[in-house]
């Protein structure tokens, strides 16, 4: 958007400032009851509270969704039947711990889901049944239930009233309490005519009166969608998750065929194996650990985003964030606060300041944009009280005011004595002056170029007195402010290998100055929605994944085209509908957290898959020698753990296979820590920790369990 042709809000929200960033740095969540970490005591309580839910998930209609755990479930049924038909301590021990394996897998998923359901309950508590004052075609108001509102209805909301539905402010400006969705107690400002016009149903107007156009149907409001997302009701498996499920299924089938082929060989060798032993071998060889934790990892990934006050509309977007290579950011309201305010009135060389001050004040009286109001405030501070009061009486004196419009990019006033004032974009004022026989002074052009080069927005002020050619009286300096800490955050993105591109409607000089101050890698100036789309498609054509943050209606097409589209919560409804993520804090640098969580999700899934497959190696040394050591005494050389007996070895392996799931639940919920290092170093680190650890852990764990199990009856 061109800053001289359109208006943007001059307000910032408390959730986008340094305080909010410091909260994220500490890992605090604004959507209660969140914390990013879980202590083991908390986990123990969660395991106890989710136990009934985990038992309910033993229903085969639920278990079959995970092929690996469904095989374990079938094996549990088989061993239970065998234990009933031919009871023994060994058979019952294997059956019980196989059921525990399935139960622990269900508990991992239930704990992950439980966090979201707790947050959903908090959000449900914010929803209240309310009524609305709907405006009719004749301007009158009627009271209706909020549930009866339709898209397009206009409702009037007064102080201390609840906004009845999602919509956009079309008239007025008000402070709004949005703590219901952000947890931030400080109010924010919502107003018409800018990119901060969106309001959310269930929030409360604290001051002033606004008219809201409803944009969603009842039951489909932002809070309704939040509830569905955080409790996991709308979660679907991502492409990577589906691919990994297929891989695990194939491995399970391979091991199933191998175990089935082992029984004929055992019979031929004269030592047939019982179904209990074969099932135990199968369960210990298939990748049960990752199969049990896969769903919990995906749910926890989206939960971590929620704890950072980001709503992901799909798991696909979370995964894509982990592979983003280019980030596009809208300048106004994203990199900068978006509050361009008049900071200086510069008179034309040779003219006094009184003329430009008076002209700026009069020509901005009809400009209701935030920029126009800031000009009135600045000029008023320089005028004495009698002069200001005299100018305020101009409407009663018969003055005609020209409102600001995007078409003319000017505003002004025509006084009864024939004097005309104009204020607006420098090129628009220049055309107005030249059209009436005047000229643009070179000194003014120099000031205009200087302001634009410094990153500000220059507005020219001119006057035409009766019978005289128009004169340019001076320039108004509007300045936008880059949000604190942006350069450091962009440097952090650069260390992650992410290129940052600022997209703005500003002229190239202004864009270059802001880009240098913010520390972005590149910029696109004078960008139209079509230009943004073209840039995104060009990057995607090169095989790169693109993320974009934005808050305006003109950002909506680009947000929809991006692989990861992050809309600011302070933005318009169109932007939030087009994006696949919404940042409730409206902090554009939140993408660093989003990318980190996306990478963390992928790394966690890969690390636990590596661990799961690696720890099967130790189980070979526990179970295979135990099965055939009587027939082939030479296999005792493979009993490097020194396990007491074949039966204790098998039971110990089954118990370890179940307990390791519980042990890894905290890691699957918290995620493997992501560090901004190269992929080679990251791969080496994870192989050493989770590959080598996956091999060593079972040797130690099974041996320790065997020391206890071997003293139980029937295990020798």
Same domain, 568 and 680: no
Tell whether 373 is covered by a domain: yes
Give the Cα separation of 534 and 221 in Å (integer).
Answer: 32
Sequence-separated (6 or more) residues with CB below 8 Å from residue 397 = 415, 416
Residue that is written with structure tokens 């299924």 in the block? 249
> In terms of domains, do 471 and 348 share one?
yes
Whichever domain contains 383, its CATH number is 3.40.1110.10
Report yes or no on 520 lying in a domain: yes
Question: Starting at the edge strand that comes first in sequence, how are the strands of the sheet with 173-177 ordered?
Answer: 188-191, 173-177, 204-205
The domain boundary residue, chosen from 559, 584, 609: 584
C-alpha–C-alpha distance, residues 177 and 188, integer Å: 7
- Whole-structure pTM value: 0.63
Output the CA–CA distances (angstroms, integers) from residue 678 to 53, 500, 598, 672, in the order listed.
Answer: 41, 19, 16, 16
Do both 379 and 505 map to the same domain? no
Domain C-terminal end among 448, 481, 514: 481
The 3-state secondary structure of 480-508 reads CCECCCHHHHHHHHHHCCCEEEEECCCCH
Query: Is residue 397 a part of any domain in this protein?
Result: yes
Distance CA(624)–CA(637), nearest Å, equals: 12
584, 618, 653: which is the final residue of a domain? Answer: 584
Flag whether 410 is marked binding.
yes
- Condensed to tens digits (0 to 9), the pLDDT of residues 595-643 reads 888 888 888 888 899 999 888 777 777 777 766 666 667 667 777 777 7
**Are 110 and 238 members of one domain?**
yes
Q: Are residues 504 and 606 in the same domain?
A: no
Positive or negative, the CA dihedral 116, 117, 122, 127 is positive
Residue 330 designated active-site: yes
**Residue 408 labelled as part of a binding site:** yes
Domain shared by 477 and 492, yes or no: no
Residue 193 maps to which CATH number? 2.70.150.10
Q: Is residue 11 part of a domain?
A: no
List helix spans (H) across 475-588: 486-495, 508-518, 529-541, 556-561, 573-578
Say yes or no: 392 and 463 in one domain: yes
| Interatomic CA distance for residues 407 and 391, integer angstroms | 27
Q: Does residue 71 lie within any of the structural domains?
A: yes
Check whether residue 368 and residue 350 sit in a common domain.
yes
- At 11, the pLDDT band (50, 70, 90 cuts) reads very low
Asked whether residue 382 is domain-assigned, the answer is yes
> The tokens 């959310």 sit on which residue?
200
pLDDT attached to residue 457? 81
30: confidence class by pLDDT, cuts 50, 70, 90: very low
Check whether residue 190 and residue 261 sit in a common domain: no
Tokens read off for 640: 């490097």
- The total number of structural domains in the chain stands at 4
In a domain, 140, yes or no: no
* Average pLDDT in the chain: 80
Same domain, 621 and 642: yes
User: Which of 168, 195, 330, 587 does the annotation list as catalytic?
Assistant: 330
Whether the CB-CB separation of 423 and 359 falls below 8 Å is answered with yes
pLDDT in tens, 139-171: 889 988 887 888 889 999 988 888 888 888 888
Whether residues 622 and 692 fall in one domain: yes
Q: Is 347 marked as a binding-site residue?
A: no
Q: Tell me which H or E stretch contains 669.
A: helix 646-670
CA distance 408 to 427: 10
Smallest CA-to-CA distance from 252 within 502, 94, 66, 16 is with: 66
Cβ contact 33:122 at 8 Å: yes
pLDDT of residue 14: 33
Strands lying side by side in the sheet with 545-550: 310-312, 581-583, 564-568, 545-550, 324-330, 499-503, 522-524
Residues with Cβ within 8 Å of residue 93, at least 6 apart in sequence: 651, 654, 709, 712, 715
pLDDT band at 440 (very low <50, low <70, confident <90, very high): confident
pLDDT tens digits along 646-690: 788 889 989 999 999 999 988 888 888 877 666 677 778 888 888
Same structural domain for residues 387 and 260? no
371 in a labelled binding site: yes
**pLDDT band at residue 78 using 50, 70 and 90 as cut-offs:** very high
What is the percent of the chain with per-residue pLDDT over 70, rounded to a whole number?
A: 84
496: domain CATH number is: 3.40.50.1000
What are 311-350's pLDDT values in tens digits?
777 667 788 888 888 888 877 766 877 667 788 888 888 7
Q: Does residue 314 lie in a domain region?
A: no
State the residue range of the domain holding 46: 40-116+232-303+597-710
């Amino acid at each position: 958007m061109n800053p001289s042709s359109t208006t943007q809000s001059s307000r910032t929200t408390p959730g986008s400032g340094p305080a909010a960033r410091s909260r994220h740095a500490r890992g605090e969540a604004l959507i209660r009851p969140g914390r990013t970490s879980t202590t083991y005591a908390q986990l123990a309580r969660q395991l106890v509270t989710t136990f009934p839910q985990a038992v309910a998930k033993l229903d085969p209609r639920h278990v079959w969704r995970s092929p690996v755990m469904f095989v374990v479930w079938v094996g549990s049924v088989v061993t239970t039947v065998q234990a009933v038909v031919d009871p023994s301590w060994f058979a019952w021990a294997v059956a019980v711990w196989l059921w525990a394996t399935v139960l622990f897998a269900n508990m991992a998923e239930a704990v992950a889901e439980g966090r979201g359901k707790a947050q959903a309950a908090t959000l449900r508590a914010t929803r209240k049944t309310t009524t609305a004052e709907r405006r009719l075609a004749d301007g009158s108001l009627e009271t209706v239930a909020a549930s009866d509102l339709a898209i397009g209805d206009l409702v009037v909301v007064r102080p201390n009233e609840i906004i009845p539905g999602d919509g956009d402010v079309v008239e007025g400006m008000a402070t709004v309490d949005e703590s219901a969705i952000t947890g931030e107690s400080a109010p924010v400002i919502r107003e018409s005519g800018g990119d901060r016009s969106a309001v959310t149903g269930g929030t409360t107007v604290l001051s002033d009166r606004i008219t809201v156009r409803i944009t969603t149907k009842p039951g489909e409001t932002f809070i309704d969608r939040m509830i569905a997302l955080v409790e996991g009701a709308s979660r679907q498996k991502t492409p990577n998750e589906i691919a990994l499920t297929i891989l695990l299924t194939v491995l399970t089938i391979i091991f199933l065929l191998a175990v089935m082929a082992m029984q004929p060989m055992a019979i031929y060798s004269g030592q047939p194996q019982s179904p209990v032993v074969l099932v135990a071998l199968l369960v210990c060889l298939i990748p049960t650990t990752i199969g049990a934790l896969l769903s919990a990892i995906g749910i926890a990934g989206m939960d971590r985003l929620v704890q950072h006050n980001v709503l992901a509309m799909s798991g696909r977007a979370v995964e894509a964030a982990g592979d983003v290579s280019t980030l596009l950011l809208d300048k106004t309201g994203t990199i900068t606060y978006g509050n361009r305010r008049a900071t200086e009135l510069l008179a034309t060389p040779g003219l006094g300041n009184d003329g430009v001050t008076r002209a700026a004040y009069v020509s901005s009286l009809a400009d209701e944009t935030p920029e126009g109001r800031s000009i009135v405030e600045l000029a008023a501070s320089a005028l004495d009280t009698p002069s200001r009061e005299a100018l305020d009486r101009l409407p009663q004196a018969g003055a005609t005011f020209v409102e600001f419009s995007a078409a003319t990019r000017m505003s002004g006033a025509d006084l009864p004595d024939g004097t005309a004032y104009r204020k607006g974009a420098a090129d628009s004022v220049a055309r107005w002056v030249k059209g009436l026989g005047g000229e643009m002074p070179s000194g003014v052009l120099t000031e205009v170029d200087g302001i634009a080069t410094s990153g500000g927005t220059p507005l020219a002020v001119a006057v035409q007195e009766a019978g005289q050619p128009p004169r340019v009286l001076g320039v108004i300096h509007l300045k936008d402010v880059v949000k604190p800490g942006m350069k450091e955050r962009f440097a952090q993105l650069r260390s992650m290998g992410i290129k940052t591109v600022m997209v703005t409607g500003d002229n190239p000089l202004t864009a270059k100055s802001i880009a240098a101050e913010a520390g972005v890698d590149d910029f696109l100036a004078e960008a139209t929605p079509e230009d943004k789309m073209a840039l995104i498609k060009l990057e995607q054509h090169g095989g790169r994944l693109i993320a974009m943050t934005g808050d305006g209606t003109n950002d909506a097409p680009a947000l929809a085209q991006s692989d990861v589209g992050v809309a600011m919560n302070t933005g318009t409804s169109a932007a939030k509908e087009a994006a696949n993520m919404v940042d409730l804090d409206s902090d554009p640098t939140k993408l660093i957290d989003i990318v980190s969580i996306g990478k963390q999700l992928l790394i966690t899934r890969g690390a636990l898959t590596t661990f799961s497959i690696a720890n099967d190696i130790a189980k070979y040394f526990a179970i295979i020698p135990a099965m055939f050591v009587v027939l082939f005494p030479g296999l005792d050389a493979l009993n490097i753990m020194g396990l007491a007996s074949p039966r204790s070895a098998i039971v110990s392996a089954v118990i370890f296979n179940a307990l390791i799931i519980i042990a890894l639940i905290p890691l699957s919920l918290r995620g493997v820590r992501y560090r901004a290092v190269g992929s080679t170093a990251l791969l080496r680190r994870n192989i050493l920790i989770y590959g080598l650890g996956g091999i060593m852990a079972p040797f130690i764990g099974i041996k320790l369990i065997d020391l206890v199990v071997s003293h139980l009856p029937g295990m020798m």
